[in-house]
Every structure is written in C-alpha cells, then in structure tokens.
Amino acid sequence: MKNLTIKQVHEGLVKKKFTCVKLTQEFLDRIESERDLNAVITVTADLALTQAKFVDRKIATGEEIGVLEGVPCLIKDNILLAGVMATAGSKILENYTAAYDATVIKKLKEAGVVFLGKTNMDEFAMGSTTESSFFGPTKNPRDKTKVPGGSSGGSAAAVAADLCVFALGSDTGGSIRQPASFCGVTGLKPTYGAVSRYGLMAMASSLDQIGPITKCAEDAEIVFEAIAGQDEKDSTTTDFCGADHTDIKKCRIGLPKECFGEGLDSEVSARVREAAEKLAKAGAEIKEISLPHTDYALSVYYILMPAEVSANLARYDGQRYGYSVRDRATNLFDIYAKSRGEGFGNEVRRRIMLGAYVLSHGYYDAYYKKAMQVRTLVKRDFEKAFLDVDFILTPTAPCVAWNIGEKILDPLSMYLSDIYTISANIAGIPGISVPCGEAYNLPVGLQILGKSFSENNILNLAKNFEKL
C-alpha cells in the first residue's frame, strides 16, 4: 500500500482490499520509521485510529463512504486542530494546544478524513527551507542532504515520502508551491478568498492562503473542492462557481519573458521550456508575454509582508498563552521583551523589526504606501496579460533544492527562491506547481497561473499535462 492516490484509497476501502485501520497503522508506522526526515512534529495516533475504526464500521454495515472518507492526511502546524498541539514551529508556542478547529479542518472532518498529525514548518511560516523551525530542519526525501523548501516543507516532504496521502499547507509567498517543486509533488495555492483562513495562525493576512499538497493534480482538485467556499468566520471568503474547463487544444499559454532571464538555472529553464513544448504539441498556443512589474514584486512583498507580520505577531506577548518569562521578569515590559526575545527565532525577529520600521512615523509613506501602489500595478499586469492568454507558465523556483545550511546565513539569497511565486500572492490569483522533470537528479516544478477563481481550469491543465 504505497504511493496511493485519494481515489485508489477510496477504491481499496470500498472493495475491501484493506481496512482503514490497517491503512492508517501503516502510515503511522511509516512516520515512525522516517523520523530522521523530521517532517512530522506531532503524531495523533489515537485520533487517527479512532477515525479509521469509524470508517471501517460504516463499510462493514454497507454504508456508502465519500471519496475522502478514511483517507489519511497530515496538517501544517499553523492550522488549528482542536485538542492537538499547534506550535507554528516556534518556541513561543511549543506547549500550546488548539482550542478549536480551523474551518478547513471542520470541513475535512465532515468529509471523514483521518488526521495522522501535524507537520514541521518554518517558524510562523517565515522561511523557504523549513530550517527556521524550533524543532529542527526537515530533510528532503529525494536527497536528505537537501532542504525540502518552505515554509510548508514538512507537508511537502511528508507527501513525497509517502507518510500520508495528502497534506495541507499555507502559502503566503510560495510556501506551498516552492516546497512542492523541491520535493517533486503537486501544490495548489488557491485564489485569495477561495478558502477560509479561520483557524490559520496569521502571518500576513492579505497574502495567506491554505491549500493542498498532493501526489497528483486530481488529488489537489478533490481536496480543494472539500475545503473551498464561503465562511462567515472569514469575511474575505466568497462562494464562487468554478470556471468552465478549458480545452487544452484551444487554450492560450503565456511565458513571461521576465521569468526566463538572469538568475534562472539553465537546466531548470530547459525543463520548463520542454514542458511548454509538450503542451504546444498537444494543441496549446504558446506565446511570449510581459509582466513588466515582476522585478518589483519581491521588494513589494518584503515590505507588505513584514508590516503585517509585526501587527499579527504582537499578540504573542508572554501574557495570555505560550512561552513566558513571567517568573523571571521584574515588570511588565520585561515580560514582553524577554518572552518575545527568547520565544521568537532570528528570522521572525528580523521580519518583525522590518515591519515595525516600514510602518513607523516618517517611513510609512516612503515604504508601505508606495508598496501598496506598486502592488496595484502588479495586479494590473496580470489582468492585462489574461486578456491575451488563458494561463501563464513559469518555473516554480529558479533552482532545485540546495544543501541544508547552505543559505541559512544569507537570507537575501533565500528570499530570491520565491521570486516566481510571490506575484501570485500579491495579485491574489491561483497557482499550482506540478513536477516537470529533473535537473541534477532533483525535481523541477512547473508553475501554472490562472485568473482569479479559475482553479478548475489550472487543475484541468495540470491533469492534462501529467498525461503528456
């Protein structure tokens, strides 16, 4: 029972090729045997087996089960699962237990999913390698000397190592798509507002999105349909009708010239262009396009994101929950300063300070306000491009996975690994990364971008691409 897709699990359960308990126990055993990957922070064996027994009872009595019912999954540790530890990869929350379910968890529970546990991640989703986690770095299953990407590195590594059938991650600037690329799996970032953020620990509220990491595009589609939709607890969400499926023989695909220039590894570029050629042979029209403000997207992101981080992380003050130095402090300021100073890691402190700076008096107009104006220009670039094309193809990342520790002391170099993914978050559009070959014996990801709320279309193109 290895490398099963969601539909294969469903078929196996319905035809009684295996029980849900046996399947769940096999995944739990696999998680234990792959502890050196450090992909999983918390294992919820009792919960998983209880859920599996319930599914088996339904099957035994002849009841129909849904396509996700009994499917074992893992959840990124910044998404709340009631009664289970939720650390966000941080010391400041190392003993925090979630008091309620995130909306996506509630929906997956209703679908009958089996929860195996919580995955490792960059601290508060800040990073591109999963090395900033308080619980240590995650290793890439394809080569354990390499990083798995981040911040959803634990989720991507877990899917790639077959520790679960699918996982949930969060994507603020590429944190689902980039690790999916590095680990050779599929990762979907939905349109902003397509999936509720209620119960997701906020990093940058105008950019964050929850999405699936899976073994194939069809699985991503199944999970997305289960978690998408309007939620009264998240006012940014909306109900929407998915776009009509686009026939691959009639679709127009744009390759942005700004995404194939300096900084892109030649082998990665070759794999992505080969993927475009396959689509062209299948009947798609491929054309070069321009997204003129692409070069500014990274700068805009690293102004807006830290600004929102500094506001969202103000709640971790050592007073109400989480790590506190209350017993060692002499006054209230000491509690705040020391709890945050000791509880947060270097990357989180760096971004809080950057955010406080760009929001400070005298710098707000020069940095934050200007970044918001350029954000509008990035959005307009995509709106204009989608008048001429149905999809945009880019590399997911400019390179393949690098060695663990190689860029930890060079944050600017690490930030550049998200250069092709960040624009989608700034514009709020959906994007998916699918494997498109290898370079240097490591996976390469192809990113497919579409218009807002066109998840059906990009998933359909991804499914068609997998068959080529």
- On whether the CB atoms of residues 215 and 3 are closer than 8 A, the answer is yes
Inter-CA distances, 310 with 286, 323, 353, 417, Å: 42, 18, 7, 23
Catalytic residues: 76, 151, 175
Tokens of 397: 């990342």
How far apart are alpha carbons 251 and 461 in whole angstroms? 9
Neighbours of 431 (CB within 10 A): 30
Q: Can you give the chain as a three-state secondary structure string?
A: CCCCCHHHHHHHHHCCCCCHHHHHHHHHHHHHHCHHHCCEEEECHHHHHHHHHHHHHHHHCCCCCCCCCCCEEEEECCECCCCCECCCCCHHHCCCECCCCCHHHHHHHHHCCEEEEEECCCHHHCCCCCCCCCCCCCCECCECCECCCCCCHHHHHHHHCCCCCEEEEEECCCCCHHHHHHHCCEEEECCCCCECCCCECCCCCCCCEEEEEECCHHHHHHHHHHHECCECCECCCCCCCCCCCCCCCCCEEEEEHHHCCCCCCHHHHHHHHHHHHHHHHCCCEEEEECCCCHHHHHHHHHHHHHHHHHHHHHHCCCCCCCCCCHHHCCCHHHHHHHHHHHHCCHHHHHHHHHHHHHHCCCCHHHHHHHHHHHHHHHHHHHHHHCCCCCEEEEECCCCCCCECCCCCCCHHHHHHHHCCCHHHHHHCCCEEEEEEEEECCEEEEEEEECCCCCHHHHHHHHHHHHHC
Measuring CA to CA, how many Å separate 236 from each of 100, 209, 225, 268, 428? 20, 11, 18, 36, 11
| C-beta of residue 446 within 8 angstroms of C-beta of residue 465 | yes
